Amino acid sequence: MSAPPTSLRVTLLQTSAGTDIEANFRAIERMLPAAGGADIIVLPEVFALRGSHTDYRRHAEPLEGTILRRVASWAAERKVWMLAGSIIERAGRRFHNTSVLFDRRGRRKAVYRKIHLFEAHLENGIVVRERDTYSPGRTPVMASIEGWRCGLAICYDLRFPELFRRYAARGSHILFLPSNFTQRTGRDHWETLIRARAIENQCFVVAPNQCGVNPVTGVASYGHSMVVGPWGETLVALGARVAAASVTLDSARLDETRRRIPALRHRRL
């Protein structure tokens, strides 16, 4: 599997969304100037709204709704690719946790509906269970960004290596993982799992995460957004606060890693 012909400049936005959609949009717009020179801006999971199951259902929109129109306008105005980390999509009677990719003209290029739905029983007795709100997606989704083949995933998908192996087997260079990973699980598992997915698939992993506390549920998100290279090297590591960071993904890293250890060619299962 050959590497893409060019480098790609990626900007992650680590946000702390609440229940006020317009306030969340304004916070993102204040961060966009930090993405000057980016080829793609990547937003975290539920970037436009973080609240309760009731909030998610009340504000769910189809793909043609106002939230994604706003993201498409940012992409077109700035002439940059944008990955809308996830929105709550209303599709008939169903709700999905959905990631959407837009090109430099604001055209929708890929739609991924989260396949694996998170469930956790926290030490304080809170139960977080996405199936109470969402229906799972059924289909892995890949996209091409100017020669870079990309596999799309969301948050809890990180724990299911077979999804990422599928992407690698189909030639992925980048694995995108917009997230709202909780603080408790994040401390123990976030970096370990991200680096594992990068190493075993010899891909870049781009993982913007929410930070701060959900104002309705009280569940804290971990932050610590990351970009990891195909050797498992950390290229970006943010802290626990709202922040933005940019990094250039160099296709030579892919070639070098896959030349040194040609593990992807050695697969037998």
**Ramachandran area for residue 215 (φ above 0: left; ψ -120 to 50: alpha; else beta):** alpha
Measured distance CA(59)–CA(64) in Å, rounded: 13
**79 is written with which tokens?**
């002439």
Catalytic residues: 45, 114, 155
- Report the pLDDT value the prediction gives residue 184, as an integer from 0 to 100: 87
2 pLDDT tier (thresholds 50, 70, 90) = low
pLDDT over threshold 60, residue 1: no
Answer whether 102's CB lies under 8 Å from 109's CB.
Answer: yes
Measured distance CA(101)–CA(236) in Å, rounded: 22
Q: Give the domain ranges of the chain.
A: 8-262
Give the start-end residues of each E strand in the chain. 8-14, 40-42, 81-91, 94-102, 108-113, 119-121, 127-129, 141-145, 148-152, 174-176, 204-207, 211-213, 220-222, 226-228, 234-237, 243-249
Largest CA distance in the chain: 51
- Report the pLDDT value the prediction gives residue 133, as an integer from 0 to 100: 86
Q: What's the whole-model pTM score? A: 0.96
pLDDT over threshold 80, residue 269: no
Q: DSSP 3-state assignment of 87? A: strand
pLDDT over threshold 70, residue 226: yes
Name the burial class of residue 161, with classes exposed (0-12), middle (13-18) and buried (19+) by CB atoms within 10 angstroms of its CB: middle
Q: What is the pLDDT of residues 124-168, one digit of tens each?
A: 777 778 898 899 999 999 999 999 999 999 999 999 999 999 999
- Report the pLDDT value the prediction gives residue 3, as an integer from 0 to 100: 67
Cα 144 to chain centroid distance, Å, stands at 16
Measured distance CA(110)–CA(163) in Å, rounded: 17
Q: What is the pLDDT of residues 59-109, one digit of tens each?
A: 999 999 999 999 999 999 999 999 999 999 999 999 999 999 999 999 999
- Report the pLDDT value the prediction gives residue 70, as an integer from 0 to 100: 98
Answer whether 203's CB lies under 8 Å from 172's CB.
Answer: yes
- Report the pLDDT value the prediction gives residue 59, as an integer from 0 to 100: 96
Question: For the CA atoms of the chain, what is the radius of gyration?
Answer: 17
Architecture of domain 8-262: 4-Layer Sandwich (3.60)
pLDDT over threshold 90, residue 268: no
Tell me the average pLDDT of the chain: 95
Q: What is the pLDDT of residues 9-46, one digit of tens each?
A: 999 999 999 999 999 999 999 999 999 999 999 999 99
Of 217 and 68, the structure prediction assigns the larger pLDDT to 68
